Amino acid sequence: MFKFSQTPLAFDEVFVQCFQLYKESFRSILNFIIVLAVVSSVPTFLHNIMQGLPQIVYLILMLFAWGFFSVAIIKTLNNYGTEDQSDPMALAKSKYLPTVGLIVLVTIPVFLGYLLFFIPGVFLNVLLFFAIPALVISNKSIIGAFKFSCQLVWGKWWRTFGILFIAYVVPLVILGLVSDFGVTSSGIAFTGGILQILVNVLFLPWYFCLMTLLFHDLNLSHAPPLQETNPSADKELDSDD
């Protein structure tokens, strides 16, 4: 049974461990993944219709779906193979609004970075990649999670970027190709939508497994570990700033 390593992993070991977590946890997170996969495929199913709607409608739908189910998935993965049997849905409900706020807080600077010069967007995307796991696993506040992700990645940016690039570039290219497949003149891209859901169902567990695994690995790579699970300590940290 999968167990998170108690020592920092080598570059190649990250992928081995991630694949093991992926295989063993797939069924336990499948229900959550299917919901996200369907929501993410809405524009492909309704290609022409979505073109006539304000983009904000789809963005709000995505925001609310990811704000809830990403917490439940990360909680399930983090507790996988442990004695913690707490309900991930209960945590998702309690963390829902903070997670939505955190997603907005992270998205704005990353989007502006991509919009301006692209490279700053890549830098910020990697730097803030672990904000949601910090909120869920380390029980950080919104601002605390934002800062904690920066602390984890700082000094480890190139290694983190290399792992994320190798792990995600191929699935994302496939996903991009599938999203444009099967669009018909009537605007109902049924074939492309089904294919995109299938690709999402296979890719999203990998995405969350790597996010959770790397969060633990980066924390271990710092001496002493940065991770703090005491909510009061997090509040004290924020008040000092």
pLDDT on residue 187: 46
CA dihedral sign, ordered 70, 213, 19, 76: negative
Most confident of 45-54, 95-104, 194-203: 95-104
Q: Of the ranges 88-92, 160-164, 189-193, 237-241, which one carries the lowest mean pLDDT score?
A: 237-241
Confidence of residue 190 (pLDDT cuts 50, 70, 90): low
Residue that the structure tokens 């909510």 belong to: 231
Give yes or no for residue 189 having a pLDDT over 70: no
The residue ranges of every structural domain in the chain are 11-240
pLDDT digits (tens, 9 = 90+) for 143-183: 999 999 999 999 999 999 999 999 888 777 776 666 555 54
pLDDT of 178: 60
